[in-house]
Amino acid sequence: MLGLLLKSWNKDRLTNAETSCQASRQMIRLRVLSILPLFLVAALSTVSAKTYLKVGMLDTLAGRADAIVAVEVLSTDYTRTAADGPMYAEARVLKVLKGKISLRRRIRFGETEWWGPTFREGERRIIFLSRVTSKDPYYEVEWHTTYTGGVDFFLDKGSLLDLSEASLKDFLDTLEEVRLSPPTIRFGVDVQDTKPSRLSLTIANETDSALRINPSRIALSFNIDGIRYSRRVDWAIPFESPWIRIEPGSTLSGSVGIEPQQLKGVGEFTVMMGHSVAFFPHRCWVGTKVVKIRTGQEEDTTRLRKVRPATHIDLFETGANG
């Protein structure tokens, strides 16, 4: 009888312990899920400052996609986040370059996991689509976007007739060419003691051909003492169009402010600038630049001075993702 009582007691104790562990795991899971959207909202509220292109990704993009279409974005559904389900967009098909999709059809597609939202109503885009298979139950639609390394492809309204699978390949080849010989990007910082310092940015087109850049989609961030700050660039001149043309030998300049207390006692900090949009059929630069800027300060001094432009590190050449 005593043996049976001990056996029953041990069984109840194990059951209670297992129930307690399950409850603890569930509590941890709920806490993680409760704070995860906060990080996602913070990440999606700013334009991404970097792309995740790898060598050869642009060359193989058209081949990796099951369908390629030019579309006009009609609506988006971003009520979910990548944590609890895919995000969707709906568009009207303007031209089919590859795949079995009907012209003028309205299609609803999911955005690649952990990358989005980027689509906005009224935009004309070139999108690369992959068919949803039975092995990919994440999406509730027929198509989802093919991973592009974080690059968005926009379509000039007057170029629809010129868009074809062959001309798109030439466009992607040009993007790769510019990626290997990018514009010169210079950074400098004018450090002030009592008023906001200014981090200057200059994009110089020292190539033989004009380049198109969308200043509103250029994102800049800097890392000081392990804290990352994202900033919109204040450009030196206003722009009448989202896409501007930088002629050979011309420059584009802007700056961002840094509060004095953020640089106090800091000897150097890291700056990252990214441009992750392309504009068919124009020659564009897509990429990321990372630099380290020395402020000339020592830990025990408060003397601040202007410093020389930083040394450039091209993430594409080093293979790093930053």
Cβ contacts of residue 231 below 8 Å, gap of 6+? 220, 221, 222, 256, 257
Q: Over the range 91-101, which residues count as b (16 or more CB within 10 Å of their CB) and which as e?
A: bebbbbbbeeb
Residue 153 burial by Cβ neighbours in a 10 Å radius (0-12, 13-18, 19+):
buried
Same fold? 57-178, 183-316: no
Q: What angle is formed at CA 94 by the lines to CA 91 and CA 98, rounded to 5 degrees? A: 95
135, 257 in Cβ contact below 8 A? no
Q: Of all residues in the chain, what percent carry a pLDDT higher than 70?
A: 68
Question: Above 70 in pLDDT, residue 183?
Answer: yes
Could you tell me the pTM of the whole model?
A: 0.72
What one-letter code names the amino acid at 96? V
pLDDT at residue 318, as a whole number: 28
What residues does each domain of the chain span?
57-178, 183-316
Question: Above 90 in pLDDT, residue 13?
Answer: no
Tokens standing for residue 305: 């001075």
Q: Let me know if domain 183-316 sits in CATH 2.60.40.
A: yes
Over the stretch 253-276, which tens digit does the pLDDT of each residue have? 999 888 877 777 777 888 888 898
pLDDT average, residue stretch 297-320: 33
Tokens standing for residue 303: 């003397």
Residue 88 burial by Cβ neighbours in a 10 Å radius (0-12, 13-18, 19+):
buried
Bridge partner list, 95: 70
Question: What CATH code would you report for 57-178?
Answer: 2.40.50.120
Over the stretch 74-130, which tens digit does the pLDDT of each residue have? 998 877 665 666 788 899 999 999 998 988 889 999 876 555 568 899 999 999 999
User: Rounded to whole angstroms, how far apart are CA atoms 278 and 296?
Assistant: 37
Cβ contacts of residue 90 below 8 Å, gap of 6+? 73, 74, 75, 76, 77, 106, 107, 108, 109
Over the stretch 196-242, which tens digit does the pLDDT of each residue have? 788 889 999 998 999 999 998 888 888 888 888 888 899 988 888 89
pLDDT average, residue stretch 166-179: 92
